[in-house]
Structure 1
Amino acid sequence: MRLDRNLCHLRIWAAIAVIALLPCAASAGPITPERIAASLPKLEALAEAAVTDGAVPGLAIAVVHGDEVIFLKGFGHREAGKPESVDADTVFQIASLSKPVSATIVAALVSDGAVSWNSKIADLDPAFRLAEPYPTSELTIRDLFSHRSGLPGTAGDDLEDIGYDRAEILRRLRFVPPSSSFRAGYSYSNFGLTEGAVAASMPTGKSWEDVAEEKLYRPLGMASTSSRHADFVKHVNRAALHVRVDGAWAAKIRRDPDAQAPAGGVSSTARDLAQWVRLLLGDGVYAGKALIAADALDQTHVPLMTRGKNPVSGGESFYGLGWNVEFGRHGLSWGHAGAFSVGARTLVTIFPKEKLGIVILANAFPTGVPEGLSDSFADLVFDGAVERDWVKAWGTIYSGMFGPVVEAAKATFAVPPSPSRPARPASAYAGRYANDFIGEADVSSAGDSLVLKVGPAGARSYSLTHFDGDLFLTYPDAEMPDRPTGVSFAVGPDGKASAITIGFLDDNHLGTLRRVATRLAETGHPRRPACSRRVAKQSRTVGSPC
């Protein structure tokens, strides 16, 4: 369960309500350039303290006021335990901060007349399908960038986990039942937004990655920014991803997000992203040149979908097109967070009325440092003093984010039932299973255990340990290696398993695969019994009748 799957846009409002925020402080007077300048040394001290205290190994910050970058600095280290320092040109993986960047790129295409926000996906990418015909025919770029297509939030993330590429993931979204009626519900979808971006680029005849470079990165001189992971790893001055291991930060895991590049695959620097913020604060004008029409950009900040109550102001929190739109303690703000639970945290916050923006990039998870520093800076600018220790408050929230999930999973599988039921012979479970969404799974014996292989050509392999009866356990999450997940078999009258339900691929009730007699076709499009799609849709239960 990666955070880029579920929480990149800070979908944690319900959780952070427990912070018990204080009433709005009275303004300390008009915001002036002098007030903003006076806040910068205090912001710097807070950032240095966060690194010194071990809240994050390294971070970089850019502050923009009007058309001027007024603060740009790195803190800490690119990798824990190594001497190389973070600076303004250190390249970070920015996770879901990619979404507003991609919205800006699409706005450039809209400005050029290549597409409109209301262009239909059926016209741009006729091969793309949702599960139902009417939404498929009416779906627009606007729908996908505002997360109102009906696609469940995790749709496609599971396929990315097991090795499928972007094209195959987008093709298989047609098998995912909707989580809400079309345009009636908000569900934050990485691959929904990815399809919106890819479709928007199609009239150009170029890849999304090339369009991003042509329409945004190159015109703004963002020479260290890319939507390709291969470009990120070429940089010597790049930040490693960090997670906590035995209480200390460790660079353990790498993350290649190319499949969802528009939603989470951008890599950039504080210096480069400051240029992007200049463009936004200039309403599409950069260095005196009009690059994007203001009305095309303005549409990205129109609140379209409600995300629930903002715990700071008590008002509604909204989503526009790749942007959070907030009405909080300090008035209107646009923002977006990014997170890889394998080790990245990022944030942009813009106060459009004040023409003020801040970007914070950090190389670790869990940490609330970006939000803590952003809130502290806003307090300094608007009120003249920091209201509370925001870094600590946000750090507490993020530190506890996965603990309950892991502990609940451990408790569920802590002790087998008594008396426990033995497993059947390995031959009862071994074989091939398939459905349209997951594709093929192969189960084979390996000594005293079973091995499950899934993904294209069995790209991912998981050891299965017996728990009880026909239920086995595996540990699929690199970021939560001690969290068990169930893998269960339904065994027929002949003593052989007729189906397998893979718990970590069952978020959308599509983790049940039926036994197949022959290997799949080379295309990777599995053939399965006519009833099995209905079984996968209607229930998690392996033994659902056909």
Structure 2
Amino acid sequence: MKTRLAFGLVMALSGACSIIGGPARAADLSAGAAAVQPESPAGLMQLPAVIERVRKQFQVPGLAVAIVKDGKLVLARGYGVRRLGQPATVDGQTLFAIASNTKAFTATALQMLAEQGKLDMDGRVTDYLPGFQMSDPYVTHEMRIRDLLAHRSGLSLGAGDLLYWPPTRYSAQEVVEHLRDVPLTSGFRSHYAYDNILFDVATLVIEKVSGMSYADFVRQKILLPAGMNQTLVHDHTLPAGLDVATGHALANFSQLQTVPEMTWANNLGAGSLYSNADDMARWMNILLAGGALPSGRHLFSTASRDQMWTMLTPIPVPPASVSQLEAARPNYLGYGEGFFLSDYQGQRLVWHTGGWPGMVSRITLVPGLDLGVAVLTNQESGAAFNAVTMTILDAYMGRSGIDWTAAYAAAADKAAGTADSEVARHQAARSRQAPPSLPLEGYVGTYHDRWYGDVVIRRIKGQLRLSFSKTPLLVGTLEPWQHDSFVVHWDDRSLNADAFVDFSLDEDGKVISARMHPVSARTDFSFDFQDLRLQRQPAVAH
């Protein structure tokens, strides 16, 4: 399953309650009610039952849903519990990591600075960050501010994510400096490939131009004026006493367990925000209103909003993974500035998803209906938020008859089956009579990659142990597979990212390099092991 930080393209193919009738206000959003408003579409009356079925089907302990329509708050409610095995329930104020839904705030910040005349969206990145470098001089020279937001740089899918995912000791400045060594795999602006690292560059541009930290700019210039007083930038540990959901993941793709809180401060612009249903309702209303606040003042202009919602990078429309999802297949698909753009039943959709350790979310806007839907969950199931979102869209479009829970369950089962078949194929091809060609000591050493840094292999108590020097969570045991191939099993089983490690030997039978790639297709693409070129370093004499 492709989740975590880089949960960019999850297509429809592949508690306490707050309900009010007027514009969303801080006082209103704490009020409770038990059911959807009577004037809401009839199809929405079954939403609580659908959500409970979704939670059971996809093993989601808790989720929150926000719906806005015609500038009014329809629903901001929680379902289930914040943490498995504990009684505290999710409500409209429970905070969830919204991960890549942060990208819309980063795009908004840049557009606001452009409105103030402090930057040009079509200006060169090097005009604002003279030290900025891509691995190709031409791309370095031609990269514009708008390009940072559009996933069309020539980088591969998730390129460079291991510099900050899982959390590393690199600073944001160091991550951007390492970008010069991250390889390009396609032509500049030639096609779509989702990345996070260029949003780190955008973060530094915002800080350089505004003279403020990214966190302070977003808090002071966006969140507070928007009345999003509970949303926070997760640049350090979360303050104690918050109403916050705990993330959950299926360790080994099977056993549901909690995921420890992680702080990720070296790429804030790509995925650092925590928010809740109440505040996401406010955010969706502001976007749908073209930047207008309830007071009538504009946080940003409608023209800026429209630029963010203009397609920059077309994306080929994939086929429906199962026949039950054919109805959700769009006619067009693309990316603007921090938003995906597609259609459903003749209506334009503006949306994004987000993934974080144990939490995934989806925000969907239907401008033609003045409708917004947010689904925040504390389990890594894109199928869950898609099923809920599509059920709500159908209710407002007067459609019925599609069981989205069953459809997404079928798609999830098929994806898991395909991935497991690939793992089984590797198992069948494995020769257990082909041990490593060297004693284990022969693989010990420091291996260096130009863009990541060092990966170290040690022999401890008769086993090979592999560790990424800047990533505390990436520590595991190497199991001999066959010949000079091993599998690294990470100590943290919730990562779901075990990988093959293939060693290359020189003519004298000594290891000179290693390559890695994930064992399972269900491993998140942010584990971009395949981009590493690990060269064994000479041993240092003591």
Q: What TM-score, normalized by structure 1, do the two folds share?
A: 0.83
Q: Counterparts of 1:108-119 in structure 2 under 5 Å?
A: 108-119=112-123
Q: What is the DSSP-based 3-state SS (H/G/I as helix, E as strand, rest coil) of the residue aligned with 2:316?
A: strand
Larger mean CA deviation between 194-203 and 133-142 belongs to 194-203
1:376 to 388, 391, 395: 391
Q: What is the DSSP-based 3-state SS (H/G/I as helix, E as strand, rest coil) of the residue aligned with 1:194?
A: helix
Task: Identify if the C-alpha distance between structure 1 residues 234 and 107 changes in structure 2 by more than 3 Å, giving closer, same or farther.
Answer: farther
2:334 to 315, 318, 322: 318
Task: Identify if the C-alpha distance between structure 1 residues 217 and 394 changes in structure 2 by more than 3 Å, giving closer, same or farther.
Answer: same
Larger mean CA deviation between 108-117 and 416-425 belongs to 416-425
Q: Report how far residue 85 of structure 1 moved.
A: 0.3
1:107 to 101, 111, 116: 111
**Contact persistence 2:354–2:360 (CA under 8 A):** yes
Residue type of the partner of 2:532?
L
Larger mean CA deviation between 228-237 and 385-394 belongs to 228-237
Q: Does 2:233 align with 1:219? A: no
Q: Does 2:417 align with 1:417? A: no
Q: Does 2:478 align with 1:461? A: no
1:303 to 311, 318, 331: 311
**Contact persistence 1:345–1:363 (CA under 8 A):** yes
Task: Identify if the C-alpha distance between structure 1 residues 461 and 484 changes in structure 2 by more than 3 Å, giving closer, same or farther.
Answer: closer
Query: What value does the CA root-mean-square deviation take over the aligned residues?
Result: 2.8
Q: Which residue of 1 aligns with 2:267?
A: 260
**Contact persistence 1:305–1:320 (CA under 8 A):** yes
**Contact persistence 1:475–1:482 (CA under 8 A):** no
**Contact persistence 1:194–1:261 (CA under 8 A):** yes
Q: Which residue of 1 aligns with 2:8?
A: 8
Residue type of the partner of 1:489?
F
Residue type of the partner of 1:510?
L
Q: Report how far residue 143 of structure 1 moved.
A: 0.9
Larger mean CA deviation between 457-466 and 67-76 belongs to 457-466
Question: Per-residue CA shift, 1:284-330, capped at 9, x if unaligned?
Answer: 11012122111111100001211122753551111111111112214
Task: Identify if the C-alpha distance between structure 1 residues 118 and 41 changes in structure 2 by more than 3 Å, giving closer, same or farther.
Answer: same
Report the identity percentage.
25
Task: Identify if the C-alpha distance between structure 1 residues 9 and 235 changes in structure 2 by more than 3 Å, giving closer, same or farther.
Answer: farther
Q: Report how far residue 271 of structure 1 moved.
A: 0.6
Question: Per-residue CA shift, 1:135-174, capped at 9, x if unaligned?
Answer: 1011112112111111212211122236243332222121
- Higher relative contact order (CA closer than 8 Å, sequence separation 6+): 2
CA distance in 2, matches of 1:101, 1:457: 27
Task: Identify if the C-alpha distance between structure 1 residues 95 and 481 changes in structure 2 by more than 3 Å, giving closer, same or farther.
Answer: closer
Task: Identify if the C-alpha distance between structure 1 residues 335 and 161 changes in structure 2 by more than 3 Å, giving closer, same or farther.
Answer: closer
CA distance in 2, matches of 1:53, 1:371: 13
CA distance in 1, matches of 2:497, 2:196: 24
Q: Does 2:528 align with 1:516? A: no
Q: Does 2:349 align with 1:345? A: no
Q: Which residue of 2 aligns with 1:532?
A: none
Question: Per-residue CA shift, 1:118-148, capped at 9, x if unaligned?
Answer: 1321111122211101110111121121111
Question: Per-residue CA shift, 1:425-468, capped at 9, x if unaligned?
Answer: 33322222223212122222112211222223977432212223
Q: Counterparts of 1:392-471 in structure 2 under 5 Å?
A: 392-409=406-423, 411-413=425-427, 416-417=430-431, 419-456=433-470, 460-471=474-485
1:280 to 251, 276, 287: 287
Task: Identify if the C-alpha distance between structure 1 residues 72 and 506 changes in structure 2 by more than 3 Å, giving closer, same or farther.
Answer: closer
- Aligned length in residues: 499
CA distance in 2, matches of 1:58, 1:64: 21
Q: What is the DSSP-based 3-state SS (H/G/I as helix, E as strand, rest coil) of the residue aligned with 1:289?
A: coil
User: What residue ranges of structure 1 are gaps of 5+ in the alignment?
Assistant: 16-32, 520-546
CA distance in 1, matches of 2:211, 2:409: 44
Q: Report how far residue 175 of structure 1 moved.
A: 1.2
Q: Does 2:79 align with 1:75? A: yes
Q: What is the DSSP-based 3-state SS (H/G/I as helix, E as strand, rest coil) of the residue aligned with 1:234?
A: coil
Question: Per-residue CA shift, 1:57-86, capped at 9, x if unaligned?
Answer: 111111112332121111110011110000
Residue type of the partner of 2:200?
T
Question: Per-residue CA shift, 1:450-491, capped at 9, x if unaligned?
Answer: 122222397743221222333222124846667642223223
Q: Which residue of 1 aligns with 2:242?
A: 236
Task: Identify if the C-alpha distance between structure 1 residues 55 and 442 changes in structure 2 by more than 3 Å, giving closer, same or farther.
Answer: closer
Task: Identify if the C-alpha distance between structure 1 residues 459 and 241 changes in structure 2 by more than 3 Å, giving closer, same or farther.
Answer: closer
Task: Identify if the C-alpha distance between structure 1 residues 399 and 221 changes in structure 2 by more than 3 Å, giving closer, same or farther.
Answer: farther
Q: What is the DSSP-based 3-state SS (H/G/I as helix, E as strand, rest coil) of the residue aligned with 2:480?
A: strand
Q: Report how far residue 4 of structure 1 moved.
A: 3.2
Q: Report how far residue 400 of structure 1 moved.
A: 4.7
**Contact persistence 1:121–1:140 (CA under 8 A):** yes
Q: What is the DSSP-based 3-state SS (H/G/I as helix, E as strand, rest coil) of the residue aligned with 2:536?
A: strand
**Contact persistence 1:153–1:190 (CA under 8 A):** no
User: What residue ranges of structure 2 are gaps of 5+ in the alignment?
Assistant: 15-36, 319-325, 519-526
**Contact persistence 1:152–1:508 (CA under 8 A):** no
Q: Does 2:336 align with 1:336? A: no
Task: Identify if the C-alpha distance between structure 1 residues 223 and 429 changes in structure 2 by more than 3 Å, giving closer, same or farther.
Answer: same
CA distance in 2, matches of 1:199, 1:429: 42
Q: Report how far residue 351 of structure 1 moved.
A: 1.1
Q: Report how far residue 39 of structure 1 moved.
A: 4.8
Task: Identify if the C-alpha distance between structure 1 residues 314 and 3 changes in structure 2 by more than 3 Å, giving closer, same or farther.
Answer: closer
Residue type of the partner of 1:251?
T
Q: Does 2:394 align with 1:387? A: no
Task: Identify if the C-alpha distance between structure 1 residues 430 and 90 changes in structure 2 by more than 3 Å, giving closer, same or farther.
Answer: same
Q: What is the DSSP-based 3-state SS (H/G/I as helix, E as strand, rest coil) of the residue aligned with 1:211?
A: helix
Q: Which residue of 2 aligns with 1:94?
A: 98
CA distance in 2, matches of 1:237, 1:189: 31
Q: Counterparts of 1:126-145 in structure 2 under 5 Å?
A: 126-145=130-149
